[in-house]
Chain A
Amino acid sequence: MAAHNLKHALFCAIVTLIISYPILGFNLASEGTTVTLEGAKTSTVVGVLLAAVIVFLFQLFRDTLMGSLRQLPAVNPLTNRKPMEQSKRLKLDSVLLTLMIIGALIWPFIASRGAVDLSTLVLIYIMLALGLNVVVGLAGLLDLGYVAFYAVGAYTFALLSQYYGVSFWFALPIGALLAALFGLVLGFPVLRLRGDYLAIVTLGFGEIIRILLNNMTNLTGGPNGIGGIPDPTLFGMEFGRRVKEEGNTSFHETFGIAYSGEHKVIFLYLIALVLAVITAIAIRRLMRMPVGRAWEALREDEIAAKSLGLNRTAVKLSAFTIGAFFAGFAGTVFASKQGFISPESFVFLESAIILAIVVLGGMGSQMGVILAAIAVTILPELAREFSEYRMLIFGAAMVLMMVWRPQGLLPMRRIHIELKKQE
């Protein structure tokens, strides 16, 4: 056994060396017009060697290490606790949610401008993730092109305001409905594909939308994007320093207070908050309605669901359409927050990040998804110190999270009826 361990440990250490030394140890540099090879700094080389030694030792004593870890008294006192009773949990859930909303309402008035702006982005991601949660978490349809609907929402508002001067409040439902329509039209043919085929087709669809937006320069401005997207108004009051549209008044003049850029940021945040809450509540209600039950039934067992008389296409389409609808919502808010949109905001990585939020949060669980959206958006900002290592850490965190806690931060617990125990 020991010999086998030694062999394995040696092998692992050698692999570590092979995958790290050539890439880290030699740097390709261009000197003048030729490419040359430079040795890396001694510290890097020592680091690589150290890593190999650590891997060697870890693999060598892996069994003992893991064994002793297991024997440690449970470090996490929560591991063995019994699941909370359902009635209690539901109560706690709603109390927490109320607290969160109250906290979120107070937040913009105490936080700095940058923080509020970032929070608006978090709220947009929450909307997106909640919407995708319906498609992936509840209906079990793997959608890798979700960003397309987000783009449809954003571009709808941008184009309507550019060509027809439509305001945010009119564009909001139109953007969402148009995104939903796209979902319906796309969903109809592709939903008969299964699993991973659906994933790649949605991915392709997302890319097609982005490329079309980029290529139709006459309509969408192509890579130049669309600028000058108006901010939302409050009953005809604008938040800018100067009033841009005739007939509107400015917020600070109406109330006789000094102009501050914060008003606009806070107002946008509040709009995003309200929309996010609406999204959360709407989806929460839907989950408890027959259609929501049907989504989950289909995810769990398609054949069983079918044999119970569920219309597979209709159920899948409804999930797809509703998911797209909320993405359109989020897109409109995003366009308004940015004031400028271009196709590069709607790349595949964006879809991947939204999907990561859903999975990290715990598929199907709203609370988890909200937490994950906060974590995924804020962590890279906090890690600005590490600037260069930011995405490296993000990638590693995604992998580690899946390995250690694949069920997500707060896994979904189904509402169920508990049978009375027989005495």
Chain B
Amino acid sequence: MQDLLYFIQQLINGLTIGSTYALIAIGYTMVYGIIGMINFAHGEIYMIGAYTALIAITGLAALGIAWLPLILIVALVCAMIVSSSMGWAVERVAYRPVRGKHRLIPLISAIGMSIFLQNYVHLAQGSRNIGFPALIEGGFRFGAEDSFQTSISYMQVTIFVTTLVCMTILSLFISRSRIGRACRAVSQDLGMANLLGIDTNRIISATFVIGAALAAVAGLLLGMYYGSIDPLFGFIAGLKAFTAAVLGGIGSIPGAMLGGLILGVAESMTSGYLSGEYKDVVSFGLLILILLFKPTGLLGKPEVEKI
């Protein structure tokens, strides 16, 4: 019984972290699906979202506002606005001028942007880890009183629910709305979509904005869940999320969700049953293994070579 509870606890830990990976991975996967580039700076946009949220929360606290829903909503909105603007600006400055060039060129541009943004925040806010207030505390417990109990915190519940809501809205948006339809059209054939009167530049900007907004949501949630932020943490999380996107099949939105969850659970099980040191080895090893047998990821469409 104890072992089972322990397993469930690690599973919950893994699913929580996995669902935030999925939120960040959406940004990678949508951009890749449309213009076929790896947006290395996406992790930094997530980090900037977290910083903005913290600035908003601290600011509200200084003003003496203590009503939790208001704080959360204001922080979320601020983070989303700043991150989306950043996403838009990054695309405009660093990616649009190099679009259509050899595929390494946008990649290098993106790595440069990532270094730039990291240092931008570093210079503005310092390199130290800053505490992030835990606004949502408490949780449920299962199991006998005096032995191992499985606990689910309200924060974890919030993360699940928010991720689910975001994913549902995004799926509806992509499948039903006009822009969503245009997104799909552009990802299938950019040139043709352009000919049919779709403003492709606008659609590409829109994907960056949507991805950045979701990253900002993840930034706020993870900031609260973990408890601190620093200018470098976006890069590591970005790398993980990108791995998740590839694992699930880059370009596919359900794939990003699946990839994120698998990666999160794999990590948590490794640290739970093996050792935390080997967490990253296992997640990258898993990625390599899956790609060897399914070269386009779990839910990716096989690439057809057109001649």
Q: Which residues of A contact B (CB under 8 A)?
A: 15-16, 18-19, 22-24, 26-28, 30, 35-37, 136, 142, 189-190, 192-197, 199-201, 203-205, 207-208, 211-212, 214-215, 303, 348, 352, 355-356, 359-360, 363, 388-389, 391-392, 394-399, 401-403, 406
Contacts and interface: CB of A to CB of B under 8 A. Distances in A.
A169 to B, nearest CB: 34
Nearest to A192: B295
B229 to A, nearest CB: 9
A23 B246 contact: no
A348 B120 CA distance: 20
A27 B97 contact: no
Contact of B62 (A16, A36, A398): A36
Contacts of A190: 288, 291-292
13 contacts: A23-B48, A35-B133, A36-B58, A37-B58, A37-B59, A194-B295, A197-B291, A303-B305, A392-B115, A392-B120, A395-B119, A403-B94, A403-B98
A399 B113 contact: yes
Contacts of B35: none
A43 to B, nearest CB: 13
A26 B82 contact: no
B174 interface: no
A196 B36 CA distance: 9
Q: Max chain A CB contacts within 10 Å: which of B48, B242, B287, B297?
A: B287
B111 A205 contact: no
B86 interface: yes
B105 A204 contact: no
A356 B112 contact: yes
Residue from B54, B239, B281, B285 whose CB has the most chain A CB atoms within 10 Å: B281
B137 interface: no
B277 interface: yes
Given A192-B295, A402-B112, A35 B104 contact: no
B175 interface: no
B124 interface: yes
Contacts of A208: 280-281, 284-285
Given A211-B280, A399-B112, A392 B102 contact: no
A241 to B, nearest CB: 39
B10 to A, nearest CB: 21
Given A18-B82, A35-B130, A35-B131, A23 B124 contact: yes
Contacts, number: 179
B51 interface: yes
Interface string B121-163: 1011110101101000000000000000000000000000000
B85 A406 contact: no
A406 B98 contact: yes
A23 B51 contact: yes
Contacts of A399: 93-94, 109, 112-113, 116
A23 B52 contact: yes
Interface of B: 32, 36, 38, 48, 51-52, 54-56, 58-59, 62, 78, 81-82, 85-86, 88-89, 93-94, 97-98, 101-109, 111-121, 123-126, 128, 130-131, 133, 239, 242-243, 246, 250, 277-278, 280-281, 284-285, 287-288, 291-292, 295-297, 303, 305, 307
Given A23-B48, A395-B115, 18 more contacts: A15-B89, A18-B85, A35-B133, A193-B291, A194-B295, A196-B32, A196-B38, A196-B103, A200-B246, A201-B288, A204-B288, A211-B281, A215-B281, A355-B108, A360-B108, A391-B119, A395-B114, A402-B94
A37 B97 CA distance: 37
B126 to A, nearest CB: 8
A15 B38 CA distance: 23
Nearest to A26: B55
Return the 6 tightest CB-CB contacts between A and B, nearest first: A398-B112, A395-B116, A395-B115, A204-B284, A402-B109, A392-B119
A215 B278 contact: yes
Nearest to B101: A406
B82 A402 contact: no
A196 B242 CA distance: 11
A30 B130 contact: yes
A388 B119 CA distance: 9
B105 A199 contact: no
Most A Cβ at <10 Å: residue of B111, B120, B305: B111
A30 to B, nearest CB: 7
A356 B58 contact: no
Given A22-B82, A28-B58, A30-B130, A391 B115 contact: yes
Contacts of B51: 23, 28
A211 B275 CA distance: 13
Nearest to B36: A196
Contacts of A193: 291, 295
Nearest to A21: B82
Contacts of B243: 200, 204
B124 A402 contact: no
Nearest to A186: B288
B103 A24 contact: no
A24 B117 CA distance: 12
B34 to A, nearest CB: 14
A220 B243 CA distance: 28
A15 B85 contact: yes
Nearest to B97: A403
B156 to A, nearest CB: 24
Q: Most B CB atoms within 10 A — which of A36, A195, A197, A215?
A: A197
A26 to B, nearest CB: 5
A189 B105 CA distance: 26
Given A23-B125, A359-B108, A392-B123, A28 B130 contact: yes
Contact of B108 (A24, A37, A212, A398): A398
A328 B117 CA distance: 32
A402 B284 CA distance: 30
Nearest to B105: A406
Contact of A211 (B62, B78, B107, B277): B277
Contacts of B116: 392, 395-396, 398-399
A355 B125 CA distance: 29
Contact of B277 (A27, A195, A205, A215): A215
Contacts of B89: 15-16, 19
